[in-house]
Amino acid sequence: MGLKDISLKVKIIGLVVGCLLAGGLVTGIASISFIKSDAFTIATNYAETTVSLVTGHLEHMALSTGMPSAVKDFIDSHEGRFKGVESITVLTTEGKNIIDRERAVEDIALINKVKESGQKAIRTTKESIIFYNPLINSAACANCHKDRPERSVIGVARISISTKDAQSQLIYRVKVVLAGILLGLFVLTLILLLAFRIAIIEPMRKLESIVMNISEGDLSFRPNIQWSKDEIGRLTNKIGKALRDISRIIERTVAISNSIMKTTNEVERESKKVIAGSKTEAESINKLFQSIEELNKSASEMAEGSSRLIISSERAAVSSSKMAVNTEQIAQNTIELSNTIDSASSSVEEVSAKVKEIAQRAEELSMSATETMSAIEEIDSSVKEIESNTKESARLSEKVTSDAAAFGITSVEKTARGMERIKQTVQKTAASIEKLSRRSEEIGKILNVIEEITDQTTLLALNAAILAAQAGEQGKGFSVVADEIKDLAERTSMSTQEIADLIQSVQSDIKDANAAMSEGITTVEEGSQLTDEAKEALWKIVESSRQSTEMASVIERATYEQTKGVSLVRDAMERVRGMSVQIAAATSEQSKDVSMIIGATEKVREVAVYVRNETIEQSMGQKQLFESVENVASLLQEISGAINNQKTATDNILVSVERIKSLPDDNREIAFHINSDLRALLSNAEILMTELQRFKLLPESKGEVLKIGVIPLCSPAEMHKRFTPLAAYLSRRLDKTVELKLEADFAGTIKDIGEGVTDICYMTPSTFLKAREKYGVEVIAKALREGRPFHRSVIITKGDWKINSVTDIKGHSFAFGDVHSTSSHIVPRAMLKDSGVDINDLSFYGFMGHHDDVARVVLSGEFDAGGLMESVAERFKENGLKTIAYSSDIPEFNICVNKDMPEDEKALIKMALFNLNVDKPEDRDILQSIDRQYTGFTGSVFEDYKGVKAMMEKFKIGVNI
Amino acid sequence: MADEIEVLTFKLTNKEYAVRVERLREILRYQRITHVPRAEPYLIGVTSVRGKILPVIDLKKRLAIKGEDKGRQKIIILSPVKVDDPIGILIDSVKDVIRFSEKDLLTPSQALSKEERNFIEGVIEVKGRLISLLNIDEAINMESVWV
């Protein structure tokens, strides 16, 4: 057993005891030696005192008696009288005992030393201290010891003091001290051991056991918070934390491998189904193959039959075509005959027609002759009318001519002459006015001159006045004259001004008159021009009436001749009419004969036509027959072709089917492969599971860590994101580490809260009820959706789908969320039931898991309809989701706690949840992170969920979890 | 008779003004005035009177009176005190030479500025018409004319 194998405890004890022993020994020895030397010194001091006393007595005795016998008595009497004095001897300087001179010389070396130095000497033996005190030859002594020099050493008093008692006392003390030290050491060692045990060994042992447990897979270690915060404490805590993390990892791994196993099982089941399916597939393909083969056979038979049919129909066609040729020849001959008769008949008809035409023409001629006659009559009468009218107009124009010449022209000419006179008069007046105007202008000019002169006069007068003023008194008379001149000038100026004004008005009058005159002249000129024009017009009238008179007489003559012409025409027409009547009579007789001929030919033709029609019909029938035979042949050909095609098609199908036949085998093989792979996977997963089950995982802490479970409404990642703010908030409020636990499914969530893996959990109503039923989980709060503690389920379908009400869903597919979900399964199912749609009425249904998935499969068309929470449906509304029904209120999702949670902690969590205020921005973020419509939490009790419980019981959901 | 004043009244536009006769030389009809380049705007130009060249001032412009020329314009030849050579002033029309007592001369309104009062010696009322008697030496500051 080497040093390595010794346990830590033994090592520590050994070390401690060794150290203590060594320390004790050193201390003991040191203290004994110190005490010893101290005790010796003290003893020596005490002995010295005794010795000096004894010596004094000796000297005194010697002086008082001077007899050695006295000394002897003294010694005898004093030996043992002083405590510790062992013996008293007086020695001479030669070492002789003065009492017993016979004794051998003793201690001569020390005596000599004393004698020389005059000082006492000390010798120690084991059990005593021996003092050699000098005896000095004092004045008193010299009486007896005259032979000795004064103050010399005459003898030595040897006093032996026993140290035995002191020594034994000392040894006793040392023993006591040593015993004390040893006792102390022992106690100390014990204390140390205890301390080590508590501080290190115990924790270490615990750690050891923990690690042992860990190595055996037990990870359920929980570091005790009371542990010290030293290295071991910290180490333990770290290990605890690491274990917790590992636990979480393992949990997740377990969950994952669970789901792997589940999935693998499912896949295996599925692949089994695939194998079974492919078997059936192969069978049905075989059947199909057989039927196709049969079909092929029958098609071959049909093809054969149809070829035979074609041959026979072809034969029929040939014979019928021969027949047709013969019939056609007959028909042709008949047609030729008919044609000949036709041409004869037509020539007769032509003749007849011509005769008829002539008759018609003659009649027409007669008629037109009559018409002509009447027209001519009309012409005649109108000509006569014209004649009389012309005569009248000739007379009238003649009268016009004479009248115009007689009155019009003369009066017009008179007017013209009058006009001319007016013009001349006006022109004369204008000239005189012009003259007047010129005159007045001249007067104006003269006035200007006068004014000029007046102005100058005034100026002169003023200048004179100025001069007069400057001249003073002398100029006074002159000034008066100047003033008068000026006044005159001013008066002149004024009257000139007046004249000027008058002339100005006259001139303006003249100007007006002038303007009037020239206007008059232009008027007169215009009048005279008009008169000329009138005259001319009058002349033109006279001329034209003269011409019309002439014309009228010409017309008169012409009409007369015309009348004569008309009479001639009338006579001619009369003759024409007579002739045409004769022609008509002749032609009518001719027509009668022609009619007879026509009747005869008509009969002949009728016969010919009959014959021809008959032959044509026969030929037609023959042709039809031939054509139908031909049709039959071609149809047969087509059928044959089709049959042949069918046959090649079936052949192809056969080949394909042959190939398809091998496919299920391949599939089966693949499925088998998959299956074996799966089995391998499954066994691996199982191994992993058993491996993992070896770990006894840490049951979730009570106290320092609060674990929140969250029901997986949508993907776990999304749920984690949604609840992270709430977890942070609770951590802050409760001053605890809050961990979110991701749940993979509803069942796991229920199990975790029930078994205390999670402390609190966000749950749906139905999961809460199940958790309560199974684990006694308690509800403490429910969420408020837009201020109300309720939400609704909806039934959705795709926007463009034909389903418009819940009853329409019958016979369609339906998607639910999780089987444990209230709003995506239980309530929608109840809604279906209430509308008379049993779950068995659906073509099929499925559980999609999350609400989002329900929305997605309905949108993608995998399912016709689905049931989910209203808020999720709202989110997908813009993608084309249609809501067709809403449920009644369902209590909102809630916060549940494990049944073992202490009341005070429940109260704290409740307080924290109820304190969330949607009006505070930071709290609103927390709430809306969970659900956009959440506005807070409120208290809740089991009674809120009784309605859901009833529904669940109705559908027998949640019995087995 | 020392308190009698004789003045020549004349018109600028339709307002009457007067000037003491002592200053006057003679009144001329309007005659040709030759423009002087670079002269002040109110100096119309120069004209010749009996062989002597005189400057002619447009009194309306000088006195900053706005209005059109009216009547037969005349040139009054004056002898200013400060300068020997006489000068002409162009006016619109002459009216009269009148005589009145010095005590009838009304002092101009104190409301006028000092500079404005410099041009007017006083106001005379004749038959209901108010005539301003010009302080002609101030009105025609010859130094500014001959700059």
- Predicted-complex ipTM score: 0.81
Per-residue 3-state assignment (H helix, E strand, C coil) for A555-601: HHHHHHHHHHHHHHHHHHHHHHHHHHHHHHHHHHHHHHHHHHHHHHH
Does the beta carbon of B98 lie under 8 angstroms from any beta carbon of chain A?
no
Q: CA separation (Å) from A383 to A130, A370, A391, A555, B62?
A: 225, 20, 12, 10, 108
Q: What is the largest CA-CA distance in chain A?
A: 257
Report the distance separating Cα A835 and Cα A824, nearest Å: 17
Report the distance separating Cα A870 and Cα A792, nearest Å: 6
Contact A470 B27 (CB under 8 A): no
Asked if B28 and B70 touch (Cβ cutoff 8 Å), the reply is no
Asked if A31 and A188 touch (Cβ cutoff 8 Å), the reply is no
Report the distance separating Cα A906 and Cα A759, nearest Å: 10
Question: To the nearest whole angstrom, how far is the Cα of A500 from the nearest Cα of chain B?
Answer: 16
Q: Name the helix (H) or strand (E) containing A894.
A: strand A894-897
Residue that the structure tokens 């749920």 belong to? A719
Question: To the nearest whole angstrom, how far is the Cα of B88 from the nearest Cα of chain A?
Answer: 15
A872-893 per-residue burial string, b: 16 or more CB within 10 A, e: under 16? bbeebeeeebbebbebeebbbb
Q: Name the helix (H) or strand (E) containing A2.
A: none
Contact B29 A470 (CB under 8 A): no
What residues in chain A have per-residue pLDDT under 50? 1, 700-702, 958-961
What DSSP character marks residue A893? P
Interface test with B, best of A450, A466, A470 (most B CBs within 10 A): A466
Contact B24 A455 (CB under 8 A): no
Report the distance separating Cα A285 and Cα A287, nearest Å: 5
Cβ neighbours, 10 Å, residue A263: 15
Does the beta carbon of B70 lie under 8 angstroms from any beta carbon of chain A?
no
Q: Which of A241, A209, A208, A247 is nearest to A225 (CA)?
A: A241
A68-86 per-residue burial string, b: 16 or more CB within 10 A, e: under 16? eeebeebbeebbeebebbb
Asked if B137 and B62 touch (Cβ cutoff 8 Å), the reply is no
User: What pLDDT does residue B18 have?
Assistant: 92
Report the distance separating Cα A276 and Cα A270, nearest Å: 10
Question: To the nearest whole angstrom, how far is the Cα of A509 from the nearest Cα of chain B?
Answer: 27
Asked if A957 and A822 touch (Cβ cutoff 8 Å), the reply is no
Question: To the nearest whole angstrom, how far is the Cα of B79 from the nearest Cα of chain A?
Answer: 13
- What the block records as the tokens of B25 is 């030389």
- What the block records as the tokens of A515 is 């303007």
Residues of chain A whose C-beta is under 8 A from some C-beta in B? 455-456, 458-459, 462-463, 465-466, 469-470, 473, 479, 482-483, 486
Nearest to A463 among B27, B72, B96 (CB): B27
Contact A459 B74 (CB under 8 A): yes
Sheet containing strand A793-798, edge to edge, reads A844-847, A813-816, A865-869, A793-798, A881-886
Report the residue of chain A nearest B73, measured CA to CA. A455
Domain ranges of chain A: 8-195, 248-698, 701-790+891-961, 793-888
CB-CB neighbors (< 8 A) of A462 in chain B:
8, 27, 94, 96-97
User: What pLDDT does residue B47 have?
Assistant: 92
Non-local CB neighbours of A323 within 8 Å, separated by 6+ positions: A622, A625, A626
Report the distance separating Cα A524 and Cα A522, nearest Å: 5
Report the distance separating Cα A733 and Cα A937, nearest Å: 15
CB-CB neighbors (< 8 A) of B6 in chain A:
469
Mean pLDDT of B17-46: 87
Contact A466 B74 (CB under 8 A): no
CB-CB neighbors (< 8 A) of B99 in chain A:
469
Does the beta carbon of B72 lie under 8 angstroms from any beta carbon of chain A?
yes
**Per CATH, which fold does A8-195 belong to?**
Beta-Lactamase (3.30.450)
CB-CB neighbors (< 8 A) of B23 in chain A:
none
Report the residue of chain B nearest A490, measured CA to CA. B95
Q: Name the helix (H) or strand (E) containing A81.
A: none
One CATH from 3.60.20.10, 3.40.50.720, 3.40.190.10, 2.170.190.11 for A701-790+891-961: 3.40.190.10
Q: What is the pLDDT of residues A329-362, one digit of tens each?
A: 555 655 655 565 565 556 556 655 665 665 565 5
CB-CB neighbors (< 8 A) of B49 in chain A:
none
Question: To the nearest whole angstrom, how far is the Cα of A512 from the nearest Cα of chain B?
Answer: 29
Residue type, A485: I
Contact B29 A462 (CB under 8 A): no
Q: Which of B59, B69, B126, B140 is nearest to B97 (CA)?
A: B126
The distance from CA A665 to its chain's CA centroid, rounded to whole angstroms, is 48
User: What pLDDT does residue B1 have?
Assistant: 46
The distance from CA A790 to its chain's CA centroid, rounded to whole angstroms, is 27
Interface test with B, best of A448, A456, A463 (most B CBs within 10 A): A463
Length of chain B: 147
CB-CB neighbors (< 8 A) of B24 in chain A:
466, 470
Nearest to A459 among B6, B24, B29 (CB): B29
One CATH from 3.40.190.10, 3.40.50.300, 3.30.470.20, 3.30.70.2190 for A793-888: 3.40.190.10
Contact B97 A455 (CB under 8 A): no
CATH 2.40.50.180 fits B4-145, yes or no: yes
Question: To the nearest whole angstrom, how far is the Cα of A455 from the nearest Cα of chain B?
Answer: 9
Q: Across the strands, what pairs with A155?
A: A92, A135
